Amino acid sequence: MDLQPELSISSGLIRKGSMAANLFQRMGNYIFRHADKIIVLDKYMGEYAVRRGADEKKMYIAPVWPVVDQLYTGTRIDNPFRIQNGFGNKIVVMYSGNHSYIHPLDTLLQSAFELRNDSRFLFVFIGGGVRVKDVTEFKADHQLDSIVQLEYQPRNNIHLSLGAADIQVVILGDNLVGYTHPNKVYGSMFIGKPILYIGPEKSHIADILDPHSGNILVKHNEATALTKKLMDFAAKTEVEWDSIGEQNRAIATERFHPDVLKARMYNIITSL
């Protein structure tokens, strides 16, 4: 899953070269060298594991399947979650999940600031974590009514909250490729939503998403470019949004459906 101590070092939680970092590094290297099989979540994680001593012949790739029990199939404007929270006909740009150190929200927040006078947009942040306060403070400092913050939604309501978005945000921090694997992209694609990805150009997320299909891909600190792309997205019709989402759903169903990935995991394990 997540690789340590690399993830903690990259996010500033552990100092590189410290006693804790060196201990975790040695433990991880021992495990990599002596495992009968190693299942990694993407090719970048596999490449890094090999550099740490893993045997490439014992390595298999199997990402985590999306946990989506239900899908909202109604019209966007009739979505109960949208109605309950007064989203109206706004273009809802949604980040739903853990607000963590390793998935920085700064570029998205800066774009929200740049679009503060465009009443078409609503930036919705759902979830918890250490960086919730960053969103709260940014909203207050700049008096942005276009930012809405909500708590984690119960599992039986998640299909409605995710379905209330017009575009789902997936973020991966710089220098974290190969160390962690946000699988949120699979669920967002599976429910048939366009994706806004903020992160490194080379990653498992960028490899999946085709920028020519209507999904938005930008790097961190490219808020102005993101703002322009969101305005281009706003100029599309709902039919075009649906088409982007359906393309994503088709890819997710073919390659990342829970049945497909569970079968892959089963075959890897039982072939020992």
The verdict on residue 125 lying in a domain is yes
Tally the domains of the chain: 1
Interatomic CA distance for residues 41 and 33, integer angstroms: 18
The verdict on residue 226 lying in a domain is yes
Give residue 119's pLDDT: 96
pTM for the predicted model, two decimal places = 0.92
170 membership: H or E segment, kind and range: strand 167-171
Question: What are residue 206's phi and psi, to 5 degrees?
Answer: -65, -35
The verdict on residue 39 lying in a domain is no
Give residue 118's pLDDT: 97
Q: Euclidean distance between the first and final Cα of the chain, in Å?
A: 20
The two tokens of residue 23 are 């201990």
The two tokens of residue 97 are 């999940």
The verdict on residue 54 lying in a domain is no
Residue 232 burial (CB count, 10 A): 11
The sheet carrying 195-198 orders its strands as 147-150, 121-126, 91-96, 167-171, 195-198, 216-218
Query: Is 183 in contact with 115 (CB distance < 8 Å)?
Result: no
In tens digits, the chain (272 residues) has pLDDT values of 888 888 888 877 888 889 989 998 999 999 999 999 999 999 999 999 999 899 999 999 999 887 777 888 889 999 999 999 999 999 999 999 999 888 899 999 999 999 999 999 999 999 999 899 999 999 999 999 999 999 998 888 888 999 999 999 999 999 899 999 988 899 899 999 999 999 999 999 999 997 668 999 999 999 999 999 999 999 999 999 999 999 999 999 999 988 999 999 999 999 87
Give residue 184's pLDDT: 87
The verdict on residue 103 lying in a domain is yes
Interatomic CA distance for residues 29 and 26, integer angstroms: 5
Chain segment 163-184, per-residue pLDDT in tens: 999 999 999 999 899 999 988 8
* DSSP β-bridge partners for residue 218: 198
Residue range(s) defining the domain that contains residue 138:
76-255
Short-list 198, 204, 201, CA closest to 180: 204
The verdict on residue 10 lying in a domain is no
Domain with residue 223: its CATH number is 3.40.50.2000
| Strand extents, DSSP E, 69-194 | 91-96, 121-126, 147-150, 167-171
The verdict on residue 59 lying in a domain is no
The verdict on residue 237 lying in a domain is yes
